[in-house]
Each structure stands twice: as C-alpha cells, then as structure tokens.
Structure 1
Amino acid sequence: MMLSSFFVLMAVAWPAVLACQQHVQRDAASLARRTIVKEPESVILKNVRVFDGIARLPPSTVYLSSGLIVPFLSPHANATVIDGAGQDLTLLPGFFDAHAHPETTADLLSFARNGVTTVMDMACSTRAECLALVREHADDGLPSVFVSGATATVPGSANANLPGFPANETIATGTREEIDSWVQSQLDKGASYIKLIQDRPGQLQLSPEEVQTLVNASASRGLQTNCHVAAYDSVGIAVEAGVSMVHHLPFDKSIDADLAHSAKRAGTISVPTLTMMRAFGAILAPGMYDIALESVRTLREADVPILAGTDANAVNKLGIPIATLPPPISFGPSLHDELANLVEAGLTPLEALRSATVLPSLHFGLTPDRGAVLPGLRADLVLVEGDPTKDISVTRNIRKVWIGGVEVV
C-alpha cells in the first residue's frame, strides 16, 4: 500500500473509528494501576508545528477527546489548552519500537515517558510475561504491546538453550504437518506474529526448506514472519522464503545491492536495530557497526522500508554471558539513539521519523488506527521542543506524551 493510500484510507475510516470506540469498564486492580497516569481528557493544542507522519506542517491546532484525535471540539468543551505561540514546539505521532523485549510495568513506563507508545515485543523470557503486559495494561495509558509467539527454532540451537525457553516449543522434525501445527498453536496462544531464527551458517537451526514452510503456514493464517538474522547468508535465506521482516543485520559482511534489491522485490522489510549492532560491536568487533551502517545505506538506496527497532532488553537478570546475548539496552531512551543512528546511516530526519511512526503502523497492519496525526486516530502523541524534522536529536526534548489520550506523568 502506498503512503498516499494510507491517508485516503484513514480519512474515509475515521468516522467509523469514532463510532466503534469502546469504553472498557475497568476493575479495581486496573484502577489501582492508574496511579502513574491520568484519565483521558479533552485537549486543544494551538500554534504547534505538526509532523503528521509524512511531512512537516506549519503551526496548526489539534484537538483530543475521548482518547482520539478529533476534527474539532465544542467551544463549550472543558478542554485543557496548550498554546505553543512564542514557543518552538512540534507535535508528532507516538513512536513505535519495532523490536523490543519489555517484561514489566516499569519497562512500559520507561517507554511511555520517552514517547514510545507502541511496542512490538519480539520474545519474553516466558510467554506469560508477554501476554500479561498485553492484558493487564491494554487500557492503562501505557504503551500498546504486541507479542510474538515462541521463537521458531530447533532443539539444541543457541536460542533453544537459553534459560526459560520451553522445551516443548521447538520444531523437532520439520515436517509440514508439525510446522503447520506449531504455527496454529502460536496463534491460539495469542501471538500477533511469528518470530524465527536464522543464525550463522553451520549453527543448529531451521533449514531453508523449513523456513519456507513456516512462512507459508504463517501467511495462510494472516500472520507476519519476523526473522532474526546474524549473517549475510541468513538474510538471503529469509528473503528467498519471503519473510515479512528481517531483524538485525549481518555480522560478517554488508548487505550488497543484489541482496537489497531481492529484499525489495520480495517485499521484505528491514528492522536493522542499529543500537544493538553498535553495542555488540563495541564488545565483540569494532568493525561490526560500520558493516551495519553500510547495510542500511544499501537498503535505503534499494528503497527497502526501514523501521526503527532497538532490541531493548534487560538480559542481565538472566545471568547469561554477554557474548551470548545483546548487552542491556534501555527501554525508551534507546529509541532516540536508534533514530540518531539511522540518520548517521544516511536517512534524513524525516525518513527516520517515518521509520518510527507511519511506516511501522503501516507494515504491522495497524492502520487506520495510529502512526499519524489525523482525526479519527488514537491520540498517541508526543510534544517536543524544537524541530526534529531538521535535527533528529530534538526527539529527546519531550514536553508531553499522550497514550490513548491519557497524559503520561
């Protein structure tokens, strides 16, 4: 779908979104958790520059009500007015982190206070922790969390040997029937998409044929496939199979033009996680980050969509050697690091902002719901001081954050 079609779709759909807005009855436990936020309120933001998800707009007025961006408010509405006149303020869609591993309310609050309003969780220590974040905080004014199922891998692989990995969740025989059943079981347990692993050549992992079968089984159920990659060859296997997204970048050599154009033809999207690549490179191999930067430049030149993801995690609690897992990466602040890294890799500030707003919304299938500043969409918004369309570091200058119209405090 072209971006222009995205906006046409949202313009048509916003009345239906308004009509379908649900007011969920919260139980006492949910209300108790709301000590960190306030209820949704009506807000008028006047004279604020707007990045609408695509472009920088001149100073405008934006209205919030009942958790949504709305086209207007009654003059008699009891609204909070924020007037940006004389101030250098920019309103943006709430940010996505397209690859993270939150497991606690504190993780989500850290995301929220840094303007991250939607999190794509790419595996928890246990599925129960992942699903608890979705179920317990869906209406708390904390970030929306979407989760993968168990990671698709084989018995004895590096991932299967991690503490807490359920032994009964591996793909043992690799038959079409087993893989089909495995994918269905992830969907039944609440997966929003499927994650799989393609490690370095020679490692215990799914074969190219098994990857293809997994992609087909997922697609037949409307599930995207998100493939962890660690080497040039693993990217090639993922692209050949038609995975939806590749996460991370090769450690051994940069993606070249041929592979990048193959990814473009296959419709495969890149989530480079440069923040993780930089952190890993500083520990293991100084040249690793330069290889990653070159890969992103090549992918951009091939017009492969690039999404901002950080690999934010708290692996220290597992007691695993740092060479086995990524170093700890912060929940929230790292998203701003990722935007800066993407600009260093050659994206313009506008392109970097799109990678964390409209593009993940579009490619994760969350439109018309969020990712832009338009009437009818969720009031997931970030107000910053300065103009991040010119200077990406400005995204750190956060004045206010709203999630579903709830102001984060």
Structure 2
Amino acid sequence: MRHRYWKSILVAWVTILATSAAQADTLLNDVTIVDIESGALAPGQSVLIEGTEIAAVGPDLTAGDDVRHIDGEGGFLIPGLWDSHVHIFSSPTEPDTALPLYLINGITGIRDMGALWPIADQQALQARIETGDVLGPRLILSGAWVDASPGSWPGMFLADTPEEARAVVDRIAAEGWAAVKSYSMLDEATYLALAEAASEAGLPLVGHIPEQIPLDTAIRAGHDGMEHFGRVTKACATREGEMVAEIRDTLMHGGDLQAVMARMAGHNRIVLETWDEALCDRVLSRMAAAGLHVSPTLVVADFYTGNWPAPDAPRMRMLPPEVRASWDRPDFRLQALTDDVRQLADSSIALDRRTFAMAHAAGVPILASSDASFANPYLFHGFSLLDELDIYVAAGLTPREALYTATVAPPRFFGLADQDGTVGPGRRADLVLVDANPLEGLETLRNPRAVIVGGRVLDRAALEAMEARLLAAGE
C-alpha cells in the first residue's frame, strides 16, 4: 500500500528536487521585514539563511561567493502562511497536487485534520518534507478524529462509552498523533472522558464540539481548539440548550447522521431569531479567558451558496480531471439543504461574520483555516486560505489582524520550538516575499515574488513552473 502512495509523489517531485537541492545557503538582500504582531516595518534588511534556518538578520550582512545572493529589491518579507485545517490525505495521490498548490500560494505550513491514509504513511510524508526529500509545506498531523459508531466519515476512531474513549486516546498517543480530534456525534459522557484522557496524555483536544454538547460544557472540559464557527454563533442564541437537547433526543431514539442533519436544518432560523448580543458577549468572554482557539473555515459557506469558480479558472484547471468530475456530481450535503436553509443562507452567513468579528474583538484566538480537500467540493488547497483571509478583512479585521491568524497564531498554538511568526535568527526559514505592503491590503499575497520553505527559495520563475506543471497535469 505504501508503495502505491509514494510512487507518484517521488516521480512528481524529482525535477523540483534536482533543481533546488543546491540551494543550501542564501543571502536575501534589501527587503522590508514586516513584523505581523506589532505592524512595524524594517526596510533595508538582509536575511542570511543557512540550511533550514535563519542565521542572521540585519542591514549590513555579507556572505561569501558560495552563498546564493538574491536582491529583494525592497520587497516585503513576511513569515510563511499556515492553513490550520486541511485534509490532504482523502485520496491516494492528493499530496501530488495539494503540496505545490500550498507553496504557490505562500502557504508553508498546514495542519491536517483527518485522513484516509494510515498514520504510518502520513508520518512518512511528514518526515520526507522535514528532511527535504519532498518539497512541501510543514505538516502537522492532528487528524485522529474520534466519533460515535458508526462514524461520520470512513477511517475514524470510534468510541461509544467513556471506557472506549480512554482506550482510543491511549492508541492515539501510542501512534504519535499531534492531537485528539473530537467529532460531532459523541455523547456527553464519552466526550468528557475523551477530554480528560487527552489531557492526561498531554495531547490537545481539538475538533468539533459534538452536537449533544453545549459550548460552555466544552469550555469547562478544557477543549483547546474548535473547528468551524457555527457552534459559536449557536451558543449566542438563547435557545442553544433546546437545540442541543433536540439532537440528543434524536440520537437517543436511534436517529442516524441523516436524522441529525434534518434536525439541524431547522436550527438556522432558531439561531437567527434568538441570537442575543449580550449573551454573545458573555460567551465570547469565556472563550477568550479559556484560550479556546477557533479555526473558523468561513470560506466553507461558498460551497453551500454556489459561489464556485468557472470551470476554466486556473484553480479549477490545476486539479486532476477526476477530481473536477467528482465535484460536478450531486453532493449529499447540498441535497440535505432545505428550502428554508437556502432562503436564510445570506442572513446566516452575515450573522456568522458579525459574531466572528465580535469574537476577534473579544480576544478569542483565531487560526486561519479553509477545510480544503478533494472530498470537499470547491474548497481549494492553497487558494481557499487566501479567500478565507479576505473574508476576515471583509468582516472587519485589518489586514495585519488577518495575517496574524495565519502567521503568528498557528505555530504558537502548535508549540513549535523554531517558529513563532517572527523573522529572526534561529527561526525556521519559511518566508514569503511580496511586492507590496501586505498591511495595506492582502491582494499582494496572490502573486508572491518568492516563497522560501525550509530554506529553499522558490522564485517567481520556479513558482510559475510549478503552476505550469499542475495545469499540464490537469488537462
């Protein structure tokens, strides 16, 4: 099985490796370093990269002839972007397309949140990226998702009792996952046992707030990072308890996932009618105080509202033909939408974005995220993260605040020793060079002048060559 996964990846990347292996050390001259945390600009700087790390930063750096010299021409240098919620293992060859798509969009780090590949194969790819054998973004493996039987997706860990939850966490820890991911159908006793066991194992609890669990219960249980934003907006509705109880009753009486989805279809109207600003302020204050990180994936709404690119758009043409064909077939999630949900879609999206802006203002930590996957139609590896950041700005964040969610917040949440969203000595050389000041607008991210990943410099010509290979493969 592993040979089947790796054969295509090795063939796809051999040319890139041959051309980039010689890029050992680099001196990047005349750049303006952007401090995303403070908003400060430092023009006229040089950055010396040795191996995978930044060795020195300053205005007067020199290096020998054996070091590659690159003139930054006053461009703006930022830390590489992170997408904190993706799925690159939903098909055997998905990384062949996903990895370059992230790099050409300036995304040098991703967190995978659930996969069909065995963990050993995921770890093998992760290791090859770290050693430079495969060119791709840094990879965090947080896809040990745990659900009640029979599981919402294939390949999940299953737990229906507290004892099973504890046993599952033992297995997750033994297999070397970075986190435990809770999913939607867990009951309260099992979820609470999962949270306790994850804490005892020293693993963060991330993932969905199960549909039977009020958000405040998850906060008190020590949930570290929640995926998707809808449960936050629902918790700001005065009838959240009633909606949660309704789902619990449905499952207790033998309802399956389809029955739950049918029940949830009526919740949008309830949320819109009972959302309360004062209540929301209290909820968000508790989330901020607890340090509960949120990966909003607001861009997912584009799928449900049909905001899809044209078939001839470059991002579509870079996908394998079989993926485009699968996206053109009926989807069970769209088929589950009722007329009422469709009529309320614009209002529901607007309320999510209003609540999101309030969450940011309240200090709730945000991790920029897209839910990109071949299994999620019209959510694109790479491109959708930039779309997500644009949504944050449209919701009221400044470009600097939006960038913070994709550069500073993720590596700090993941506890990476060599990355913290700054450009300085000892930091991993994951960087993006752009033409314009990104603090004045994020459009410049769409066409990076250079992307540096693990110390390897991909200039504009290299990035365009990667795009051309993807376009050719998509024909």
Show CA shifts across 1:237-268 (max 9, x none). 43232210111111733692121111112220
Closer, same or farther: CA 342–114 of 1 in aligned 2, 3 Å? same
2:93 is the alignment partner of 1:81: no
Aligned pairs for 1:379-394 within 5 A: 379-394=429-444
1:155 — aligned with what? 149
Counterpart for residue 366 of structure 1: 416
**Partner residue of 2:31?**
48
Contact 2:188/2:213 (8 A) holds in 1: no
- Structure 2: unaligned runs, 5 residues or longer: 1-8, 90-94, 232-267, 307-333, 463-475
Once structures 1 and 2 are overlaid, which stretch shifts more, 189-198 or 301-310?
A: 189-198
Q: Partner residue of 1:333?
A: 383
Q: One-letter code of the match for 1:399?
A: R
Residue-by-residue CA offset, 1:26-67 (whole Å, 9 max, x unaligned): xxx979944224124322222211123423322122111112
Deviation of the 1:165 alpha carbon: 2.6
TM-score by length of 1: 0.80
Distance 1:234 1:293 in 2: 21
Q: CA deviation at 1:221?
A: 1.7
What pairs up with 1:8-407 in 2 under 5 angstroms? Answer: 33-37=13-17, 38-39=20-21, 40-54=23-37, 55-59=39-43, 60-71=45-56, 75-85=63-73, 87=74, 89-103=75-89, 104-128=95-119, 130-139=122-131, 140-156=134-150, 160-162=151-153, 164-165=154-155, 169-172=157-160, 174-175=161-162, 177-198=163-184, 205-229=185-209, 234-250=214-230, 252=268, 253=271, 256-282=280-306, 284=337, 285=342, 286-287=345-346, 288-315=348-375, 326-407=376-457
Structure-2 change in CA distance of 1:302 and 1:232 (3 Å): farther
Instruction: Quote the offset at 1:231 in angstroms.
Output: 6.8
CA shift, 1:281, in A, is 4.4
Indicate how the Cα distance of structure 1 residues 36 and 170 shifts in structure 2: closer, same or farther if over 3 A, else same.
Answer: same
Aligned-partner SS, 2:438:
coil
TM-score by length of 2: 0.69
- After TM superposition, give the deviation of residue 192 of structure 1 in Å: 0.8
Cα 1:280–1:367 change in 2 (3 A) is farther
How well do the aligned residues superpose, as a CA RMSD in angstroms? 2.5
The one-character-per-residue Cα deviations of 1:175-216 (angstroms, maximum 9, x if unpaired) are 2x3222211101212211111123xxxxxx212332222112
**Aligned equivalents of 1:142, 1:355: Cα separation in 2:** 21
Residues 281 and 261 of structure 1, relative CA distance in 2, 3 Å threshold: farther
Q: Distance in 2 between matches of 1:206 and 1:308?
A: 26
The CA distance in 1 between the partners of 2:28 and 2:453, in whole Å, is 15
- Distance of 2:193 and 2:305 partners within structure 1: 33
Distance in 2 separating the partners of 1:151 and 1:125: 11
Q: Secondary structure at the match of 1:212?
A: helix
Higher helix share: 2
Contact 1:231 1:249 in 2 (8 A): no
The whole-number CA distance in structure 2 between the counterparts of 1:75 and 1:312 is: 41
Mapped to 2, the partners of 1:263 and 1:194 lie a distance apart of 19
Q: Given the superposition, is the C-alpha separation of residues 32 and 388 from structure 1 closer, same or farther in structure 2, using an over 3 Å criterion? A: closer
Paired with 1:48 and 1:337, the residues of 2 have a C-alpha distance of 26
